[in-house]
Amino acid sequence: MSGKPKLYYFDGRGKMESIRWLLAAAGVEFEEEFLETRDQYEKLLQGGSLLFQQVPMVEIDGMRMVQTRAILSYIAAKYNLYGKDLKERALIDMYVGGTDDLMGFILMFPFLSAEDKEKQRAFIVEKATSRYFPVYEKVLKDHGQDFLVGNSFSWADVHLLEAILMVEEKKSDVLSGFPQLQAFKARITSIPTIKKFLEPGSQRKPVPDDKYVETVRRVLRMYYDVKAN
């Protein structure tokens, strides 16, 4: 294994994108191997690299890690993005968990039919503005600090910014009623490592397109239709 973490996934967002975000936020360079064929995937399976027969998989520090949450937790702890004590870590886990729920509504969006996409778009915006964003708006307002936990930049902030940008792709003015989150977005996007990741030419992936969807379906043999929430 090389010194840099190596990411095994498709050339698109999916569950790997949050891992890319967190490594980038920590200023860590990484390599990627994109799965384009079923043979590549089966080779990983036969080699025993995919513990639960699924990707993402990340090679880091002599380990081959699977399970997205485990990978993210390890990266956050390794690069001091996981709070200073157990209480802060619990808060980070709680906020990340909530953000994960919201992002889960978006994850399968590219695989929906055109009709279901319109329904899901409305569903995502409604959930973001009524259930999730109000929580973070209140947290930031109540403690009056720049970051979600302990007034220090953490995994929770990275994850929330990623989610905000994903929802803004569905409705550009979705933060219009959330002044604290507007200010939060401005602060976090100005952090040098984040700013660099948001620039053209970075390893951040674009909105999933038909090519990405077709590749995922072919490699994973997804023959079923995904339904909207």
Percent of the chain with pLDDT over 90: 93
Helix (H, G, I), strand (E, B), or coil: what is residue 31?
A: strand
Residue 132, C-beta contacts closer than 8 angstroms, at least 6 positions apart: 98, 99, 101, 102, 163
* Tens digits of residue pLDDT in 14-28: 999 999 999 999 999
* Tens digits of residue pLDDT in 123-171: 999 999 999 999 999 999 999 999 999 999 999 999 999 999 999 999 9
Q: How far apart are CA 127 and CA 179, in angstroms?
A: 18
SS3 content of the chain, % helix, strand, coil (to 5): 55, 5, 35
- What is the pLDDT, as a whole number, of residue 3? 86
* Tens digits of residue pLDDT in 169-192: 999 999 999 999 999 999 999 999
Binned at pLDDT 50, 70 and 90, residue 222 comes out as confident
In this prediction, residues 75-98 reach a mean pLDDT of: 98
* Tens digits of residue pLDDT in 8-57: 999 999 999 999 999 999 999 999 999 999 999 999 999 998 999 899 99
| HSE toward the beta carbon, residue 162, CA cutoff 13 A | 35
- What is the pLDDT, as a whole number, of residue 1? 47
Same fold, 6-79+198-220 and 86-191: no
Q: Yes or no: is domain 6-79+198-220 CATH 2.130.10.10?
A: no
For 221, phi and psi rounded to 5 degrees?
Answer: 55, 55
pTM attached to this predicted model: 0.95
Residue 50, C-beta contacts closer than 8 angstroms, at least 6 positions apart: 44, 57, 66
CATH architecture, domain 86-191: Up-down Bundle (1.20)
Domain-wise residue ranges, the chain: 6-79+198-220, 86-191
